Amino acid sequence: MGRYIDYYLSAMKVAILQQLQYRVANYFFLFGMIAESVIYLVVWSTVAISAGGEVGGYTPEDFAAYFIVGILVNNMTIALSPYSWEWRVLHGQLSGELRYPIHPLHHDLAYYAGSNIVTGILCIPVVAFLAWIFKPALDPTWYQGVVFLLSLVGAYLISTLILSLLGMLTFWTTRVGAVFELFFALELLLSGRLVPLTFLPLWVQQLVVYLPFQWMFYFPVETLVGELPPEELLFGLGMQIAWILIGLVIVKLVWQLGIRKYTAVGN
């Protein structure tokens, strides 16, 4: 365990140093990630104003809080994409990684954890500016802040496991893009990124409780902007832990089956 901790700390340090070397490039990437949430914020705030100041129980200030916190969640839970997994397999990079005495997934987790720390810090002035412009209704308690940080870790782990699982499909197919685009469309709608889940039909709200999408975005956002009682906060953390365990089991199984199909050379 001590060696794993040393590895994670070292990989995170390397990621932080690398990201700090490319601050301007990171800001351009950050603006691209932020643009989506800002567009949703402007659209839904306009709808609320046109409807008399409120729509679906959300005021423009509520939408501001929701989507601004969503920016933090989006940018602090970035994980290795299936396209990177595809490149890793097709070009033989995985051949070299298989020689290491540690699963490649550990490197992905550690590296992007360090990278997301830098991204989160770079987000602060942007989020502060947006808060000054849109005046979000945000007044969390101290325990909401604690649960928010814990939920970010859970959302990051779930995202990493699911995207890695999609990437491992490259063991059987040369292109994972179509599957990833389908996943992205489902995640966009069912995670709450496009619209708060309370706007969806009741049967959809009941369904997404048992799917991983909500726990990757909506729950971390609601821990900070919603008024969830402690028992719902604990339930949400429990669901994140459950999906992490489910993801670990499925990823391990797919890895064991897929690595037998791996034949690329290179690196």
Report the 10 Å Cβ neighbour count for 249: 11
Distances from the Cα of 160 to the Cα of 14, 58, 79, 226, 253, angstroms: 19, 31, 5, 25, 16
Q: Phi/psi at 78 (nearest 5 deg)?
A: -65, 135
**Does the residue 266 lie in any domain?**
no
Would the pLDDT of 23 be above 80? no
Average pLDDT over residues 157-163: 95
**Does the residue 103 lie in any domain?**
yes
**Does the residue 152 lie in any domain?**
yes
The pLDDT of residue 122 is 85
**Does the residue 264 lie in any domain?**
no
pTM for this prediction: 0.92
Residue indicated by tokens 């039909």 = 201
**Does the residue 33 lie in any domain?**
yes
**C-alpha closest to that of 90 among 32, 151, 24, 167:** 167
143 lies in which domain range? 2-258
**Does the residue 265 lie in any domain?**
no
The pLDDT of residue 190 is 92
Our count of domains for the chain comes to 1
**C-alpha closest to that of 68 among 34, 18, 23, 103:** 34
Query: How does residue 266 score in pLDDT terms, banded at 50, 70 and 90?
Result: low
Q: Where in 118-206 does DSSP place strands (E)?
A: none
Two tokens, residue 98: 């298989």
Average pLDDT over residues 187-191: 90
**Does the residue 57 lie in any domain?**
yes
SS3 190: helix
Cα distance between residue 212 and residue 227, in whole Å: 22
**Does the residue 42 lie in any domain?**
yes
Tens of pLDDT, residues 87-116: 888 888 888 888 888 888 999 999 999 999
Do 218 and 80 touch, CB atoms closer than 8 A?
no
